[in-house]
Structure 1
Amino acid sequence: MFDFNPMTIIAGLPGLIIAMVIHEYAHAQVAVWLGDFTPRLMGRLTLNPKAHIDPIGMLMLFLVHFGWAKPVQINPRNFKNPQRDDILVSLAGPMANFVTAFLALVALLVFDRMGGDMTTGVYMVFRLIIEYNIGFGIFNLIPLPPLDGSHVLMQLLPRDMAYKLAGLERYSFLILIVLLMTPVLSMILIPCRNLIWQIFRLLLSPFI
């Protein structure tokens, strides 16, 4: 899980940055499309990494392939359909990560089919772009505040249960640390990662 190989650190930086920036930009862009201009006013409607990267979340993503970025602030009252639109905004980030991972995989396959001579370093960069985006997308779907999965779940739960779930946010970091120190999180996330890979293979099966 922990890899301090200098080559991995260097090759992994593009994947880390891309995963975080794409994820948060997708949240911001979809929110604006749905009528909430808060992300634009707060400078989040940009692909500039400085606007999105959280140092601790980036370190966690590098160490365990699961992490987080600076959350995009939205105001659901600006949406025409607050419940539906909040769910769409919440799902936009993880979906953008999965699409990015898929496109990176397609780029690798196309380059290989064209007979390109890819160095080990370049291959590792693309591989880590894929891995980090899949990991970032899955991790953020965990229904634990303030992760995206919790926003989706809170919109679907009865109000009293949603309030109780929101109250867990103060303990979220501690809960995540405990989960990371046990096999519980891996037992959930690794099968999800394998499922994403199976979907990718299914989509690409006519071409490979």
Structure 2
Amino acid sequence: MFDLSFLQILTRAIAAIIVMTFMGFCATGFARVLGDRGVVYDGKLTLNPFVHCDLFGLLAGIVGRVCWVRPIAIDPVENRMGRATPVVVALLTFAALFVFSRVVLLSLPLVAVHWPISSAALADATIRMTSSMAVWTLVINLVPVPPLLGGYLLLSLTPRTHKWLAKRHLYVSIALAALIVATHRSLSETPFGALVNFLGGP
């Protein structure tokens, strides 16, 4: 499938789940810090992967190293920064993803020294893929379309447009996944790839 080996599929699936869970938890946590209690009532403030992982985001992660999370409803009215809150949440989450992409690589020496030899190659590949996917996910999520984090820009500027797209989340996710699958071979040659290189992504 898409010239991927079983090891690549496995490592990308694990990496996508880790990145989606981290990203969803961070976005929810930042929203809560800024005053939105609704995200807690929605059960989003958790590290449970099943709460954050989007099925089509997982597919895009496996094929194109890009993923996104299930929608996180943020109410600008209920937050301390008003209509700017969703954008601030997105920016903080982007920063967290970037830091995460660098920090996760620090575990590689520990794997080399302490991890069982029988599965060290899998652990090493998964860590590297997690770092790479975090950067690619950060860059693609800059696009201002929900369910991508960049969609929060629409929520701040044109709430009606965001609401219209959010209601069609499933169709947008399918379209995004199809686009990633169709273009995954050439993504690195686009401006997204140039930005990934600028950020130091693999």
- CA deviation after TM superposition for structure 1 residue 21, in Å: 0.5
Give the whole-Å Cα distance in 2 for the aligned partners of 1:174 and 1:16.
18
Query: Normalising to structure 2: TM-score of the pair?
Result: 0.79
Hey, what does 2:193 align to over in structure 1? 190
Corresponding residue number in structure 2 for 1:124: 125
Kept in 2, the 8 Å contact 1:143–1:153? The answer is yes
User: Which 5+ residue runs of structure 2 have no aligned equivalent?
Assistant: none
Aligned residues: 192
Q: Relative to 1, partners in 2 of residues 1:86 and 1:123: Cα closer, same or farther, differing over 3 Å?
A: same
CA drift at 1:152 = 2.6
**1:127-175 CA distance string (max 9 Å, x none):** 11111111221111112333222323663x5x5xx75687667584547
Residue 36 (structure 1) shift: 0.6
Aligned to 1:18: 18
Determine the C-alpha separation between the residues in 2 that align with 1:77 and 1:121.
46
| RMSD of aligned residue pairs (Cα, Å) | 3.0
Residues 1:135 and 2:132 aligned together:
no
Q: Which amino acid aligns with 2:113?
A: G
The answer on 1:47 being equivalent to 2:47 is yes
Name the CA distance, whole Å, in 1 between partners of 2:68 and 2:165. Answer: 17
CA distance in 2, matches of 1:89, 1:188: 24
Post-superposition shift, 1:197?
0.6
**Residue identity in the other structure for 1:77:** V
Task: Say if 2:2 and 2:63, in contact at 8 Å, map to a contact too.
Answer: yes
Matched letter for residue 141 of structure 1: L
> 1:90 corresponds to which residue?
90
Mapped partners of 2:75, 2:140: distance in 1: 24
> SS of the counterpart of 1:68?
coil
Which ranges of 4 or more aligned residues in structure 1 deviate by more than 4 Å? 162-173, 182-186
Counterpart of 1:9? 9
Give the letter aligned to residue 15 of structure 2. G
